[in-house]
């Protein structure tokens, strides 16, 4: 079954999409220039062949371990978690006895102490992911796990470590060079939120036995036309990523300040969190952008959907469905009359009915909506979705006139946190910190 974007309820007739559609030639030329200069590895995936070899070479190594502890934050963790939840749900189910992936993506003392107390060091591989090698939330945990491994494994501590970082520079690359730790590179110009289909996300996927080849192939199927040196404006205009980018930019012009990512594939719920970072960190700049709002069907029908349908009319929706989810067990036939409508029907029919009802209700309430209907909930479709949304985000940023690849405001928060920890330098940040902390606070008990 094909993968489809349903534009029927996208409100294209009320949006000024022509303003952006006519820029297809300009965007095609820019794509040619940027991909030709090696600036968009998310689209060109020049690392793919070597990555396949590297991953193949890791298989025997990873088989030695029962646990993987992934140290990473933001784009270094969100994609891996989305893949884990989508394609390795049994870790969250009763009786699990296979490999286990644990993701340390926060400054969480409770979780870290639990890992140190309960994970078996000899059967655990610690994977640290940081392109720069300077992300303190991640590298700080690396310092602690390094000492933990030394305490249990002695001189062999490095054999249970794997680093994913810059190929040539940074603190973690120095650790690779000094201790001979296994390492895979994060490709140049590949930002964290675009990196799930690199070693960043595919090492944990491989550990859990996922079909990483299908993930990569699905993404390449979508993005390859955008990286074609012969790309024309006409070809780009017909590409779904460009159409989504045009829609996203035109929505903002009409005051649609929130973009709901409503997932009606339950195991894929964490893709909403992955998309939220992708869209927000890429497009939330210079007083512009639309706020991504992850939502899960049917759970959020009973909570935030009230706001979506009857609150401020500033919301649009990407609605993710798959009509071919498992059917599941059948409802009994001897149900009370008030539930007669489900007698003998398959449990899986319910989510399809709920999804249809919610989609129709949102559209009836005036919410512009594009349904992303997948032919299967498989790794290939996940790769296609990642490729589609990543490319659409880049193109939407360009149409908006902003850089979708940086995150300047995030960097300010990082510098202020380092100032709080008394890192060297940062005189301006330390002065701001002192002023902030010395301000009289309006404190009231509750």
Contact 68, 83 (CB under 8 A): no
21: CB partners within 8 A, 6+ apart: 237, 246
Helix (H, G, I), strand (E, B) or coil at 330: strand
Contact 347, 330 (CB under 8 A): yes
175, 281, 371, 429: which is the annotated catalytic residue? Answer: 281
Spell out the alpha helix ranges (H) of 199-346. Answer: 199-207, 212-223, 233-237, 240-253, 271-283, 305-310
User: CB atoms < 10 A from the CB of 434, how many?
Assistant: 11
Q: How far apart are CA 394 and CA 396, in angstroms?
A: 6
Contact 287, 408 (CB under 8 A): no
Helix (H, G, I), strand (E, B) or coil at 305: helix
- Tokens, residue 421: 């920890």
Contact 196, 48 (CB under 8 A): no
- The backbone region for 398, taken as left when phi is positive above 0, alpha when psi lies in -120 to 50, beta otherwise, is alpha
150, 345, 414, 430: which is the annotated catalytic residue? Answer: 414
- Tokens, residue 11: 């409100």
53, 118, 302, 338: which is the annotated catalytic residue? Answer: 302
Q: How far apart are CA 227 and CA 145, in angstroms?
A: 40
Question: Residue 281 catalytic?
Answer: yes
110: CB partners within 8 A, 6+ apart: none
Contact 232, 109 (CB under 8 A): no
Q: What is the largest CA-CA distance in the chain?
A: 74
Question: Residue 414 catalytic?
Answer: yes
Helix (H, G, I), strand (E, B) or coil at 196: coil
Q: Which of 306, 304, 278, 305 is nearest to 292 (CA)?
A: 278
Q: How far apart are CA 61 and CA 439, in angstroms?
A: 54
Question: Residue 302 catalytic?
Answer: yes
Contact 196, 80 (CB under 8 A): yes
Residues serving a catalytic function are 281, 302, 414
């Amino acid at each position: 079954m094909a993968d489809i974007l349903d534009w029927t309820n996208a409100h294209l007739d009320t949006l000024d999409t022509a303003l952006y559609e006519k820029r297809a030639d300009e965007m095609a030329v820019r794509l040619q220039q940027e991909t030709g200069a090696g600036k968009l590895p998310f689209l060109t995936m020049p690392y793919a062949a070597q990555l396949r070899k590297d991953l193949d070479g890791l298989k025997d190594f990873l088989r030695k371990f029962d646990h993987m502890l992934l140290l990473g934050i933001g784009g270094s963790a969100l994609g891996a978690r989305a893949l884990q939840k989508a394609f390795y749900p049994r870790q969250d189910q009763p009786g699990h006895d296979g490999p286990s992936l644990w993701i340390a993506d926060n400054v969480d003392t409770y979780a870290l102490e639990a890992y140190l107390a309960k994970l078996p060091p000899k059967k655990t591989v610690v994977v640290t992911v940081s392109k720069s090698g300077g992300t303190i939330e991640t590298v700080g945990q690396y310092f602690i796990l390094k000492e933990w491994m030394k305490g249990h494994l002695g001189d062999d501590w490095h054999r249970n470590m794997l680093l994913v970082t810059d190929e040539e520079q940074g603190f973690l690359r120095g650790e690779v060079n000094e201790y001979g730790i296994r390492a895979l590179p994060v490709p140049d110009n590949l930002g964290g939120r675009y990196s799930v289909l690199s070693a960043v996300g595919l090492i944990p996927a491989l550990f859990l036995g996922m079909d990483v080849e299908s993930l990569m192939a699905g993404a390449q199927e979508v993005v390859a036309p955008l990286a074609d040196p012969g790309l024309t404006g006409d070809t780009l205009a017909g590409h779904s990523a460009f159409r989504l980018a045009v829609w996203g930019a035109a929505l903002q012009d009409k005051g649609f300040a929130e973009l709901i990512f409503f997932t009606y594939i339950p195991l894929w719920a964490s893709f909403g969190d992955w998309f939220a970072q992708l869209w927000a960190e890429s497009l939330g700049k210079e007083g512009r952008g639309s706020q991504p709002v992850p939502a899960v069907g049917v759970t959020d029908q009973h909570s935030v959907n009230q706001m979506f349908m009857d609150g401020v009319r500033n919301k649009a929706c990407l609605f993710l469905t798959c009509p071919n989810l498992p059917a599941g067990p059948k409802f009994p036939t001897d149900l009370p009359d008030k539930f007669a409508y489900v007698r003998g029907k398959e449990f899986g029919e319910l989510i399809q009915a709920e999804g249809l009802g919610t989609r129709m209700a949102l559209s009836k309430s005036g919410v512009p909506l594009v349904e992303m209907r997948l032919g299967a909930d498989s790794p290939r479709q996940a790769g296609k979705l990642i490729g589609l949304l990543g490319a659409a985000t880049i193109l939407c940023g360009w149409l908006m006139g902003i850089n979708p690849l940086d995150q300047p405001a995030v960097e300010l928060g990082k510098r202020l946190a380092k100032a709080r920890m008394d890192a060297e330098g940062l005189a301006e940040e330390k002065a701001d910190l002192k002023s902030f902390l010395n301000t009289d606070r309006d404190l009231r008990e509750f």
